[in-house]
Structures are given as structure tokens and as C-alpha cells.
């Protein structure tokens, strides 16, 4: 039976393979040069940014966008949990109070007093590089 071989191809029982692995973003390398690694071993780790969620919070609260910061309980850069109250209006004599909650676990990236938008960013997703 005839066999087809690629020129320069060698079939060996053991061999050393050198590969360059690159992370999509800056990260941390978990091994050192010269370390012996297995095929399923994590050699580098980084975090991919989480999904962005814009919410018109001024509209939800029924307030003017310019006054939005008066009602916020959290500010830019704060970590939030899904369902956590982040803004509240005073209402009328304690009645008709409106509350707004975080729609995702993550951070508040920006607050606009022009558009009334609050932008949430979900928690980062880990990305591992394997040997």
C-alpha cells in the first residue's frame, strides 16, 4: 500500500514542541522560562472586560437628567451587586418613592447628567492561556 508523506515530516515517539502563546490583553504569566509544562496546564491568565449595559436612570426615576446625581446612592467606579438599590427619590411625604436597582453585578462606569444614562459594566471574564 502506498503512503503519502509531507517532505520533511518526521514521525517520532517523543519530541519537544515550542509554541508562542499570546493573550488577547495584558495579563500574568504563571510559569517561568525553562519550566516543564503539560498540554492542559494554564501558563498565562488575563481578564476580558465585561459586557456594557446602558440604562436611562433619570427616566426610570422620573427626574430631570441634570438632577440625577442628587438621587444616586452610588457613584462612578463603585462596585454593585445585581438588584442592589443604587438610586432613590424622596417621593411625596414618604409616599410614591421610586427606587432603581443595579441590573448586573459589576461596576458603575459612567453617569451622565446630560442624557440621564448610567453605564454598568459586568464583571470581567477570565481568559486562560494553555500550554
| pLDDT attached to residue 4 | 67
Instruction: Concatenate the DSSP letters of all residues of the chain into one string.
Output: ------TT----SS---------SS--EE-S-TT----TT-EEEEEEEPPPEEEEEHHHHHT--GGGHHHHBSS-TT-EE-TT-EEEE---BTTBS--EEE-SSSEEEEEE-TTT-EEEEEEPPEEEEEE-
77-105 pLDDT, tens digit per residue, is: 999 999 999 999 987 776 788 999 999 99
Domain residues of the chain, as ranges? 1-131
- pTM for this structure? 0.69
| pLDDT attached to residue 131 | 60
Q: What is the DSSP secondary structure assignment for residue 50, as one 8-state letter?
A: P
Q: What is the DSSP secondary structure assignment for residue 95, as one 8-state letter?
A: B
Spans of the chain below 50 pLDDT: 1
Amino acid at each position: 500500500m502506498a503512503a503519502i508523506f509531507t517532505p520533511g515530516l518526521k514521525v517520532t515517539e517523543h519530541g519537544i514542541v515550542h509554541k508562542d502563546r499570546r493573550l488577547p490583553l495584558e495579563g500574568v504569566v504563571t510559569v517561568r522560562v525553562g519550566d516543564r509544562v503539560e498540554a492542559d496546564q494554564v501558563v498565562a491568565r488575563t481578564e476580558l472586560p465585561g459586557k456594557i449595559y446602558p440604562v436611562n436612570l433619570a427616566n426610570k426615576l422620573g427626574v430631570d437628567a441634570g438632577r440625577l446625581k442628587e438621587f444616586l446612592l452610588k457613584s462612578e467606579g463603585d462596585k454593585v451587586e445585581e438588584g442592589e438599590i443604587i438610586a432613590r427619590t424622596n417621593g411625596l411625604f414618604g409616599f410614591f418613592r421610586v427606587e432603581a436597582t443595579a441590573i448586573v453585578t459589576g461596576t458603575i462606569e459612567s453617569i451622565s447628567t446630560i442624557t440621564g444614562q448610567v453605564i454598568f459594566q459586568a464583571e470581567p471574564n477570565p481568559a486562560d492561556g494553555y500550554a
